[in-house]
Amino acid sequence: MDTTLPHPKWRLPLLGDLLGVSADRQIEHAVKLARQLGPIYVRKIFNQHIVFVSGADLVTELVDEERFVKHVAPTIVALRPMMADGLFTAYNDEPNLHLGYEVLRPAFSQAAMRRYHETMLDVTRQLLAHWDMGAVADVVGDMTKTTLEIIGRTGFGYSFDSFRRITPHPFVAAMIRALIHAQRSLFRPPVIGNITGWRADRRNAADIAYLNSVVDQVIESRSGAENDDMLALMLNSPLDKVNIRHQIITFLSGGHETTAGALAFALYFLAEHPEVAARARDEVDSVWGEDEPTFEQVAKLRYVRRIVDEALRLWPTAPAFAREARVDTVVGDRLRMRAGDWVVVLTAALQRDPAVWGPDADEFDPDHFSTEAVKGRPKHAFMPFGTGMRACIGRQFALHEAVLVLGMVLRRYDLRPQPDYRLRVRELLTLKPEGFFLTPVRR
């Protein structure tokens, strides 16, 4: 790998380019460096060199499946104690990866989505009933409750009773601690970090054991039962129960985190842009009327979908992915890669590139996704769901869920932001607003 690329100033012995980097603000720091150093640069973290790419022309090459494949980067390897060979964290040559895709693909067909629609509606009704109580809404907390309940019930026939709880379900608390532990473990210095971090490791092992126990209970309660959800597909497949556990934790963790973050960012922007909210509400009223939406009517909210896409553009909840060279190759006539070398595609910078998105690349404007605008830019300038065979299998599930929830919220409420709030972003497995509250006022 070519290490003569642009890199941050003040590289330190042993630590490399860790000066000024917070374990809790890795992505924001990486995007800042992309602005300073350009669409391709290298960082040294301890003894490892990592290349970051964000130029649309370079990314177009990196998504070529004949030359490149997904790389399981250190950020994902850190999650393997929790998810092992689940779809997100499996290595490319692990048998359960391909078997898992084959087994689970029918769970995201249009027929399956039609079955999930009523459950999504029911959970959204619970959210609205909660907001009807008139209190200031903890947006991230409430979106987490909504999306976790949806994936739990549609995928595995399990309810977390999210809206009956004052505090999050213990499963959620354990999962968040495990995600934080995985992220911070990347910044441990070699050798000494394992010695000083033994208490955190012990707590993490207990959290993962608890996650496993909850999921195992779900599996045991369903063994032999007839159903048509994700769990039924897996129980009636060659997947072993340990891998089924890993797949469930993968979907419960990543599947709800990403959509909860996307919804929270979308609600932030809607509260800050009442003219956009009014236009979206007019569309909802026109398309849905006063009735609850059918499955087909959700997809007809084209402007609301633009809002979701624009929120994902500015703050992609999965902000990066890694690509590995299948063969010796050269990217952009400047980056020489041997087979096995890998780079990070920094989606969070790619999707704000002024060369592609224009001088208002940092501004929220759903018309960035008008038909004309989409046709006028490179295909791979917007990649919030990854690419190739390892792209997000639940993309259509997440988009239907997000548009449905936003449509129901917009039709019912005016969204009033908290005075003086300035957007802060929390980084775990995904990105979410931090400390964001709003007041939903019945129309």
Active site (catalytic) residues: 258, 385, 392
Tokens describing residue 21:
């980097």
Tokens describing residue 256:
């709800």
Torsion of CA 435, 179, 235, 152, to 10 degrees: -10
Cα–Cα nearest to 168, from 257, 40, 104: 257
Is 295 annotated for ligand binding? no
DSSP lists the bridge partners of residue 329 as 337
**Helix, strand, coil share (%) of the chain residues, nearest 5:** 55, 10, 35
Cα–Cα nearest to 58, from 386, 312, 327, 334: 334
Phi/psi of residue 75, nearest 5 degrees: -60, -30
User: 51, 343 in Cβ contact below 8 A?
Assistant: yes
Give the Cβ contact number of residue 53 at 10 Å: 24
Phi/psi of residue 295, nearest 5 degrees: -55, -45
Query: Could you tell me which residues come within 8 angstroms of residue 70 by beta carbon, excluding any fewer than 6 positions away?
Result: 92, 321, 322, 323, 324, 386, 388, 389, 390
SS (H, E, C) 162-209: HHHCCCCCHHHHHHHHHHHHHHHHCCCCCCHHHHHCHHHHHHHHHHHH
- CA-to-CA distance for 111 and 108, rounded, in angstroms? 8
Tokens describing residue 360:
């208002």
Tokens describing residue 259:
């959509």
Q: Which residues are known binding-site members for heme?
A: 392
